[in-house]
């Protein structure tokens, strides 16, 4: 083979290698392009069927970005602010506490909510109670009741708030003593004064007078202890401290029963009627010269059954606080 022929062969082999390299590069490029196109198609093809799990709402009633239909929905309206005046400025404020995976928000005279701090799709966020009434023990405010919260089986969640003396106002502890009934400890310096939670000083003059009358009537034996407690409850209801338990006017009336001295006014009216009847009978006996026990009721004895009070207050201390 001449040198010219050898050179031609070498050039042909180089050209063949170049063609083969170009073919392989083209095939590789086409494969990569096909994979990219397939991936793009697969992403858009299946994206419409994928469920996107959103972060649960943990801001409760204060989240302005949550649709109104999805916000926590209270079942009732909170009761009006009541109780000691020095606690009224807590209305409109909220205090939070995070325990374990739950965040609690306590808004005095409004409600208490619980929010699970989790990204689970069904993380709980709900109302544990709405301000309703005070709990009164031994004529002292002993707790705040938040009722009518979210449904819990066949009943509603409810929370009792216990007020404890401390150097700062804060939500200190939350527990669940029984199913769906919660206990919340709220610490505040507003209850550190020994008379801070007395009920009597929070009443107006008219209701204080009624309380004094009831106290005197119990002392004179005109009403029983149960009757006295019933009178106190009526006073607390009139003051807005307790929710009324009176039967609605449109309820069917119960069968007639003998009247009882269930109120102080009723007791006084019955006594007056009986006194008039006694005097009528005595006059009738005297008119017919019929002898009878001559022991008459003196003015002093009559005064002992009248429900009167002195100018002093029998319950509470009116000089408790000077609000700053």
142-179: pLDDT as tens digits: 999 999 999 988 999 999 999 999 999 999 999 999 99
Which 3-state string (H, E, C) describes 291-304? CCCCCCCCHHHHHH
Burial of 4 (0-12, 13-18, 19+ CB in 10 A): exposed
Strand partners, 171: 186
Q: Per-residue confidence at 313, pLDDT binned at 50, 70, 90?
A: very low
Dihedral sign for Cα 198, 201, 207, 213, please: positive
Region of poorest pLDDT, from 104-113, 232-241, 268-277, 311-320? 311-320
Tell the burial category of 162 from Cβ atoms under 10 Å away from its Cβ (0-12, 13-18, 19+). middle
Report d(CA 284, CA 312) in Å as an integer: 43
Provide the pLDDT for residue 48: 40
DSSP strand pairing (181-188 vs 158-165): parallel
Q: How confident is the model at residue 209 (pLDDT cuts 50, 70, 90)?
A: very high
Dist CA 55 CA 75 (whole Å): 25
Tokens representing 317?
Answer: 């201390």
| Phi, psi for 57 (deg, rounded to 5) | -75, 130
Q: How confident is the model at residue 226 (pLDDT cuts 50, 70, 90)?
A: very high
For 251-293, write each residue's pLDDT tens digit.
444 444 444 455 667 777 777 777 777 777 777 667 666 776 6
Residue 112 has pLDDT above 70, yes or no: yes
C-alpha 247: how far from its chain's center? 23
Q: Are strands 181-188 and 95-99 parallel, antiparallel or unpaired?
A: unpaired
Question: Of 231, 223, 247, 128, whose CA–CA distance to 181 is shortest?
Answer: 128
Residue 17 and residue 178: Cα distance in Å, rounded?
A: 85
Residue 203 has a pLDDT of 96
182 φ, ψ (degrees, to nearest 5): -105, 155
**Parallel/antiparallel/unpaired status of strands 170-178 and 181-188:** antiparallel
Q: What is the pLDDT of residue 90?
A: 94
pLDDT in tens, 37-90: 555 454 444 444 433 323 344 444 444 444 444 457 888 999 999 999 999 999
pTM of the model: 0.58
In contact, 301 and 174? CB cutoff 8 Å: no
Which residues have C-beta within 8 Å of that of residue 211, sequence separation ≥ 6? 200, 203, 232, 235, 314, 315
């Amino acid at each position: 083979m001449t040198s010219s022929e050898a050179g031609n062969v070498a050039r042909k082999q180089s050209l063949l290698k170049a063609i083969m390299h170009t073919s392989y590069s083209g095939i590789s490029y086409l494969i990569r392009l096909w994979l990219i196109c397939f991936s793009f198609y697969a992403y858009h093809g299946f994206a419409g069927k994928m469920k996107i799990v959103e972060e649960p709402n943990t801001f409760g009633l204060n989240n302005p970005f949550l649709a109104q239909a999805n916000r926590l929905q209270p079942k009732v309206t909170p009761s009006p602010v009541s109780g000691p005046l020095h606690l009224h400025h807590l209305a409109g404020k909220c205090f939070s506490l995070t325990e374990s995976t739950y965040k609690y928000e306590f808004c005095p005279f409004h409600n208490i909510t619980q929010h699970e701090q989790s990204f689970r799709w069904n993380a709980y966020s709900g109302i544990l109670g709405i301000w309703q009434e005070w709990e009164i023990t031994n004529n002292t405010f002993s707790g705040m009741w938040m009722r009518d919260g979210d449904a819990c089986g066949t009943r509603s969640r409810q929370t009792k708030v216990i007020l404890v003396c401390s150097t700062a106002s804060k939500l200190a502890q939350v527990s669940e003593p029984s199913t769906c009934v919660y206990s919340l400890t709220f610490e505040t310096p507003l209850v550190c004064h020994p008379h801070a939670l007395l009920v009597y000083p929070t009443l107006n003059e008219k209701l204080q007078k009624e309380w004094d009358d009831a106290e005197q009537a119990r002392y004179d034996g005109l009403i029983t202890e149960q009757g006295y407690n019933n009178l106190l409850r009526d006073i607390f209801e009139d003051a807005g401290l307790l929710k009324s338990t009176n039967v609605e006017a449109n309820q069917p009336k119960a069968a007639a029963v003998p009247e009882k001295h269930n109120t102080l006014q009723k007791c006084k009216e019955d006594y007056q009627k009986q006194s008039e009847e006694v005097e009528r009978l005595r006059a009738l006996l005297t008119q017919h010269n019929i002898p009878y026990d001559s022991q008459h009721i003196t003015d002093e004895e009559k005064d002992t059954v009248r429900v009167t009070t002195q100018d002093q207050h029998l319950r509470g201390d009116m000089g408790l606080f000077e609000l700053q």
